[in-house]
Amino acid sequence: MAANRGQHLIGKMLGSCVLEKLLGYGGSSAVFLAQQQNPERKVAVKVFLPRAGMDIRMQRDFYRRFLREAEAVSKLEHANILPIYSYGEQDGLPYIVMPYMPGGTLAEYMARRGPLSLKEAQWYLEQLAAALDFAHMHGCVHCDVKPANILLDSDGHVILSDFGIARVAHSEADSAQTDAKHSEAVLGTPDYISPEQALGRHLDGRSDIYSLGVTLFFVLSKRLPFRADSTIALALLHVHEPPPSLALIRADITPLLDRVVRKALAKDPDDRFQTGQELSRAFAAAVAASEARSAMARPPELAFLDDEKDFTGPQPSLATPRPIVRVKSTWAREWSVARFKRMLFILTALIIIIVTTGFGVTFMNKHSTPAPVAVKSTATPTEAPMPTNPFTLISNWPQGTNAFFDQDHRYHIINTQVNNAMPAPFEDYQVQDFKLSVTMLEMASKKGGPDFHGVIFRVAPDQSFFYLFEISPRDNQQYAFLRFSSEDKQHPWRTIKSSRSSAISSGVGKSNTITIETHGNTFLFTINGVPLLDKPIADPSTKEVKTGQIGLYVENQGEEVTFSELYVETLK
């Protein structure tokens, strides 16, 4: 695509509008700032340009379809839908005239400020859902919902724009012919495309719900659920691969919020929210529940969780919650960890059984589709070398109100979860043998409760396996080295070593530097320069040496820890 695509039209008059400035362009169109003469006002004019490879017949069909659907879309009068002033065709160029929105797009807004807060996302989602439901009620499917097509005004309202490739409901007699034409000429944006849109199937409003779900995923994390090197590979990921868990990317995303987004991204339209309002209400209820920190009273908007099934494919485990226990001695700590983690595994298994009722009824069982092509999912970390100081890659760490970097480049993790640990994995990097050091300072903790925090490592992408080394400065200066493996059904949590160490600095304002060195199945731990044992700790029970991510970990509610001076050396 040439960078000056559409520049040759500047100064041209289309209807009563003189094109003055190119605002942006896409695969088949360009948008201009224009001066309309009657009435006199600044407007935006979208001009549809022929795509490379289109013959005369294809251009004619495309233009005819555009003009027919522009007429239908021009009748959509809604506060959150960008109106169409006029439309037409001149010199073989179809165009539409729309209001000019100087506030720019949601994509531009996020490029300046990063992920949205939960409340901000809720506010925008409510408006977009209302706009889409209105369009769907009038037989119009947008087909290209994404942040670049969402405009902002000066009052914080969002306006859904670019219905240029929208599909209008047709009679049964010509629906097959219409779908065939659309699949030939119009696909939408691969990053946000629904599975049925990628497969060229008949679309209804639920396709827009999927794209809205991808948009919600993006505005909350500033990353897309799927990335690939080609359009075809990306489309296949949308069709076959489960999205990553938002809870592993952003620290303040609760399991409820994660499930709401995952339901919006269900592969089968029947398993999604059926309307935008359903999605908006469920998201608002999940936000309210996260603020209340209670799952006792489930609002009706979240009733879908009672019979939730596996609508996205195999779901990655969220961070395994571990109960907060008050410990009075080293032996009590070791016994309590084993007991509570066994109880936790049973509870987690029950929840998974409830949530994934009907597990195994996959997308491929329900639909006759081509066999999946092996494509690399974003859930798999890249093989780039681990940076010496992972804190230099800020975007690879979960960030939000509960996890953030301060002006001194210290990473804060604040655990506000009830009975849930707060992990922060370093995304997209994996390592097997390494030497790691990090300095930890406890800023706040729940009075009378334990204060365990530390490092997770060799973390599987779905968190089905990882090691945890943690310390508790206030609670008898304890440390613990544990392993979690979901393959071990009887004892998923194993305490490899747990004891006390006077090397742990205890007291307000006291920091602790831990060093971890891994060699295959043996591990060396040092606290403030003092080795814990005279010889390495072995873990002979693992069948193979794992490779995985590293991350930081704060276990208990009310605890805030800052992490600094994080260094990792990869060992060969």
CA–CA distance, 305 with 387 (Å, rounded to integer)? 40
Centre a 10 Å sphere on the Cβ of residue 170 and count the other Cβ atoms it contains. 13
Per DSSP, the chain holds a count of helices (H) and strands (E) of 11, 24
For 220, the token pair is 């909350």
DSSP 137-173: HTTEE-S--SGGGEEE-TTS-EEE---TT-EE---HH
Calculate the alpha carbon distances from 293 to 255, 365, 446 in Å.
12, 38, 15
89 and 70 in contact (C-beta within 8 Å)? no
Q: Which residues contact 439 (CB under 8 A, 6 or more apart)?
A: 511, 512, 513, 563, 564, 565
Catalytic entry in 133, 144, 252, 258: 144
Q: How many CA atoms lie within 13 A of 564 on its CB side?
A: 12
Angle of CA points 529, 532, 535, to nearest 5°: 110
d(CA 506, CA 326): 17
- Tell me: is residue 447 an annotated ligand-binding position: no
> Is 440 within 8 Å of 511 (Cβ atoms)?
yes
CB pairs under 8 A, 24+ apart, for 482-489? Answer: 482/337, 483/539, 483/542, 484/320, 485/542, 486/317
Q: Is there a catalytic annotation at residue 144?
A: yes
Q: How many CB atoms lie within 10 A of CB 127?
A: 20
Q: Which sign, positive or negative, has the C-alpha torsion 465, 471, 475, 478?
A: positive
- CB within 8 Å of 278: residues ≥ 6 apart: 301
Alpha carbon distance 175, 63 (integer Å): 18
Known binding-site positions for ATP: 46
Residues assigned a catalytic role? 144
Known binding-site positions: 46
